[in-house]
Amino acid sequence: MNRGHLGKLLLILMMCPVAAFASAEQELSQVLAQTQRGNPQGRQAPMGQDVLAQALRLAQAGNYKDSSILLFQLSYSPRFRSRRNQIRYILGLNLFQMNLNQVAAFQFISVVREGESRYLRQALEKLSLAADNLGDDTLLNYALGRVRVDDFPRIHRDMLSYRIGEFQLRNNQFVEAAQSFSRVQRTSPLFAKAKYLQGVALTQANQLPQALRSFEDLFDSRRAFGPTDPSRVAAQMGIARVYYQQRNWARAIDTYRSVPRDTEAWHDTLFESSWAMLRSGRFRSALSNFHSLHSSYYEDFFIPESLLLRSIVYLYICKYEEMEKVLNLFNQIYRPVYNQIDRLLDSGADPTAFFNDMVRIIRDKKTQGEEGSSGSYQIPYLVGRRILREGDFQTSYNYITRLLEESRRVSQMPADWREAAIGQYAQRILQTRIARARERAGRQVRAHLESIKLELFDLFEQEGFIRYEMISGKRQAIQKRIAGRDLPQTQIDQATRRDYYIQNGFEYWPFRGEYWLDEIGNYHYVGTQSCD
Amino acid sequence: MAKSYHKLILSYALCCFSALFGIQAEADVIEFSVDELAAETVLPVFEPSVSVRDRIVAKSGRFELGLGGGISLNEPFYNPQNLVGNLTYHMTEVHGINLSYTHWLDGLSSYGTQLRAGQGFPAFDPSLAPSPESLIALNYQNTAYYGKISLTKQTVMNLSIYGLAGLGAVGLSREGGYKIGAHAGVGQKVYFTPSLAFRFDLRFFAYRGPDPTTLDLDPALPPPPPDSFGQDFFFNTLLNLGLVYIL
């Protein structure tokens, strides 16, 4: 292959429209096939161009490992400066095929940074796919900020619309986000997530009827997946929350109640439906929920507000003794939590230390379940559990997990690849990215700790007001007692015979202090109010 | 969104309290909405799934002392009645180590008495042979089930079912010495209080020892030496009742 002919080949390579293929492998094959078709005589090329031709042949044969070694060398060769974008793009495709998304993404970024080139559009598209696989917000934002939807292959447009919607939702562009989510096709695997987030965006935009329709659409689309399907349950939660926003307490309560008990979301319904019950004046029902919610099954859940809410319900029914116990419990649990967070934030600990502590919590939770709380962490365990549920931390954590997996794949590559320049480059990139991602996740943890500290501070203030009302209520109760106008202390079920329950097809078990898993959610408050 | 909204409502609810105080009325008749009553048979999801928390009967790390009595169900010759003492250390709510001591009361069973009197047979005095008079056993105890039972509307009692297995030494009368035996059983405890329970168990012990029927035990003759009896394998069943107290 002589120089003139390779030049022709490369011209073909540069000019060939890289169509929107389902996979980079197909695309790479087509690019390389066209390259070979342009060289029917197989004429000789000078040394460096020989290497390029060899790299392309290797890639076409599916030998991405050896091809990437050669392409990486060429990408730094001054001789190929004018074709650097091309080489980097193909190198990126090779690495993408090797499931080294982060290293591939860096090649695509290099192409994008060079500015306008024939490979810009393709590089952006592939960068979006690599970023999607990694779940890295920063990369996604970088790619999505530059990509044009119409240029994007139709097959990946759902992903693009979904990611754009996520980006807009994060930036409080709720209406735009809802529109982006609505573009995700019903047949897409992302449809359920998109439909849910569309409902969330519409709720945030205060377009409640539209939000309701969106959640109902999601619910209907998941009927075939069974009652515990997470997307179906998420739709139910969304519907209940919209009804709550619409102040339709009864329907909100009914919808919360329709969430199956054997799902993670059911725990949230206990607290959220209690709000609806309080606001609709169903104090007994709210107290019934609190009995479950404040059982030792929930001792590692961060739910300070629920204790204050319970105390307010007691305030409404003049149960001051109970109210005081609940307020004391609130202080007993959350005062040390607040102090611990305060000390931790003041200590000026390194963000990575916050992240490492979270990793320990995650690890212990996985291996020991709820018993993981026995460990001593810098971050209070129940606060750590709350942060685990935060979307930004979850994204960062998943990204770090994928980087670690990629790093593991790199270390499992054959020695010749690892010791080659590309191998060392890949390891360096991954180590740097992992360190930075950990630092970023640590900063997110810190931000959440600050936010939780503020939230607790605010709740302590509320607690002070509630305590004031309690004292005031107690004073009035004493005045009534002196005047002989207080109500007798009775339990509502005292006059009801056991037969009553059996005849109605239910069992009655008085509560004696121990909590049974099959009773959680089935407790009923049977006390009476102490004031008229 | 929901959080800040709730915060506002919390303040709102508090502010409204003063206004609403005194307006509360009615509600002496309890009306549980059927919607609120248990309709699902599935359990909430917790990791790990622990069936009970804040147990009323907490045994972990505690000793349990038991006293009682019972009978041997398949004892033909000797008094089947016995007294039992138990000391158990519960390492956890499930696993424990149990030391039990059983002492048989002296005398013969009604059949043994009849045989000694020669009613219907040549006289045969089993009391001249070495017989089990005590059993001491060290067992592993596994509490496989902890639950509760409601007998009346306001009465709920906790109960547990356990199994035990171990090795023991059977002490024989008439200088018969000790024989090593295997010991196993199942039982149930019904708790009246967090510490006090009624204990009912069915135990089995097996050992190889002297068989009284291998010699003619004439009541008129002195007892033969213990080693003159033939050896056989014995499998005894004990039914015991008693009380236990968790220390």
Q: Please give the pLDDT value at position B125.
A: 84
Identify the CATH number of the domain defined by range B30-246.
Answer: 2.40.160.20
Task: Please tell me the predicted confidence (pLDDT) of residue A23.
Answer: 47
Residue from B3, B16, B30 to probe the interface with A (highest A Cβ count within 10 Å): B30
Position B48 confidence tier, pLDDT thresholds 50, 70, 90: confident
B151, exposed or middle or buried, with CB in 10 Å at 0-12, 13-18, 19+? exposed
* A-chain residues near B14 (CB < 8 A): 312, 462, 465-466, 469
Q: Where in the sequence is the domain holding A397, given as residue range(s)?
A: 351-463
Residue ranges, chain A, pLDDT below 50: 1-24, 34-47, 492-493
Mean pLDDT of B119-135: 83
Sign, CA torsion A259/A264/A267/A273: negative
Residue among B25, B47, B56 minimizing CB distance to A514:
B56
Q: What is the CATH number of the domain that holds A67?
A: 1.25.40
Q: Which of the four pLDDT bands, split at 50, 70 and 90, describes residue B13?
A: very low
Which of A463, A488, A511 corresponds to the end of one domain? A463
Contact criterion met (CB below 8 Å) for A157 and A149 = yes
Closest partner residue to B28 among A272, A288, A528, by Cβ?
A528
| B162 or A151, which is more confident | B162
Percent pLDDT > 90 in chain B is 40
CB nearest A509 (choices: B37, B44, B156)? B156
CA distance A331 to A327: 6
The answer to whether A528 contacts B150, with C-beta atoms less than 8 Å apart, is no
Decide if B158 contacts B191 (C-beta within 8 A): yes
Tell me the HSE value of A344 on the side-chain side, using a 13 A CA sphere. Answer: 25
Domain's final residue, options A97, A131, A148: A148
The answer to whether the peptide bond before residue B48 is cis (omega within 30 degrees of 0) is: yes
The domain spans of chain B are 30-246
**Average pLDDT of the residues in B87-91:** 94
Q: Residue A50 domain-assigned?
A: yes
**Residue B208 near chain A (CB below 8 Å):** no
- For CA atoms B227, B229, B230, B235, the dihedral sign is negative
Last residue of a domain, which of A105, A129, A148? A148
Tally of structural domains, chain A: 2
Assess whether pLDDT exceeds 70 at residue B30: no
Do B10 and A308 make contact, defined as CB atoms within 8 angstroms? yes
Give contacts of B55 with chain A, Cβ < 8 Å: 514
Q: Is residue A445 part of a domain?
A: yes
Cα B43 from chain centre: 30
- Tokens for B162? 């356990």
- Whether residue A526 lies within 8 A of chain B, CB to CB, comes out as yes
Q: Which of B40, B55, B193 to mutate to test the interface with A (most CBs of A within 10 A)?
A: B40
- Band (pLDDT 50/70/90 cuts) for residue B27 is very low
Contact A36, A44 (CB under 8 A): no
Q: Is the ipTM of this complex over 0.85?
A: no
Residue B65 has pLDDT above 80, yes or no: yes
Question: What local confidence, expressed as pLDDT, does residue B159 receive?
Answer: 93
Chain A with chain B: Cβ pairs closer than 8 A: 145
- B198-228 pLDDT, tens digit each: 999 999 999 998 888 887 878 778 888 878 8
Report residue B5's pLDDT band, with 50, 70 and 90 as the boundaries: very low
Query: Is A455 a member of any domain?
Result: yes
